[in-house]
Structure formats: C-alpha cells, structure tokens
Amino acid sequence: MYAIVEIAGQQFKVSKDLKVYVNRLVNEEGSKVSFDKVYLVDDNGSITIGAPAIEGASVEAKVLQHLKGDKVIVFKKKRRKGYKKRNGHRQYLTQIVIEGITTGGTVKKAAAKKAVVAEATTEEVEAAPKVKKAPKAKKEDTQE
C-alpha cells in the first residue's frame, strides 16, 4: 500500500515504515504529525484518486530528528569578464517515518464522473429525433 501525499509543499510517494527527509517542520522531535492532503492511494491494485485530495484520508508520521542537509554550492560566472561568485547553503530538513496510511472510504471521483457523462450522452442520443441527411448535389463540369 502506498500513497501520494503533500508534505511541506512537496509531493512524496510514501508507504508504511518509510523514512523520508522533508523541508523543516515546526513539530518537535518525537511528536506525531498527520498530513491530510492525500492525492492518491493504492491498496494492492485498488487505486483511489482524489479531486484534488481524497476526503477523510490521512497519513500519520513521527518526527525522528531535525538536521541540515549537505552543502549546496552555487557558482556564478560570466566568461571573459572576470566575474566569479561562489556561494553555498545547507538546507534545513526534518526526518520523518511514516507510521500508517488511512483511507476515508470514498469512491474514485474521476471514474464516477466519467460514468455520469457516459450515461448522459447515451440518453441524449437515444432521445434525439433521427434526421435523414440530404444527399450532396453533384457539381457539374461546365466549360465555357
């Protein structure tokens, strides 16, 4: 079972007992966090898609630690001008472990919409009066 969930402005594919590094969260180490913006859930082949998010679905996680990522070097240069600028930073990260994925038990909305549209079009076609098309007139070659 896996889910696509939005955590701290980014989307992640998560499953149970997976450790993920995300942008810094405000929660303390050891605390539990719940994420409600679940966009897709796959439960052994049964896929539930949200429009845009699945109502009632959530992902529970535990904050393991706060840390800084590897140094990222930003180097700018303009050739033949003598311009070089070296800069860098370390991103603040939070390591979390996914403890569980709960689904709200809602039906796939995307499939439901397609079924409604298909039913409406077949009813309209059957109810519409049938009109015979007039045959096209042949063009005569006129040479003057």
Helix (H, G, I), strand (E, B) or coil at 44: coil
Band (pLDDT 50/70/90 cuts) for residue 136 is confident
Quote the CA–CA distance of 30 and 63 in Å, as a whole number.
Answer: 5
Averaged pLDDT score across all residues of the chain: 85
Q: With 50 as the cut, is the pLDDT of residue 2 above it?
A: yes
Kindly tell me the sign of the dihedral angle through the C-alpha atoms of 13, 19, 22, 28: positive
Kindly tell me the sign of the dihedral angle through the C-alpha atoms of 123, 128, 129, 131: negative
Position 38 scores a pLDDT of: 96
The pTM (predicted TM-score) of the whole model is 0.66
Average pLDDT (99-127) is 60
Is there a contact between 58 and 92 (Cβ–Cβ < 8 Å)? no
Look at 134 and 61; give whichever has higher pLDDT.
Answer: 61
Q: With 70 as the cut, is the pLDDT of residue 105 above it?
A: no
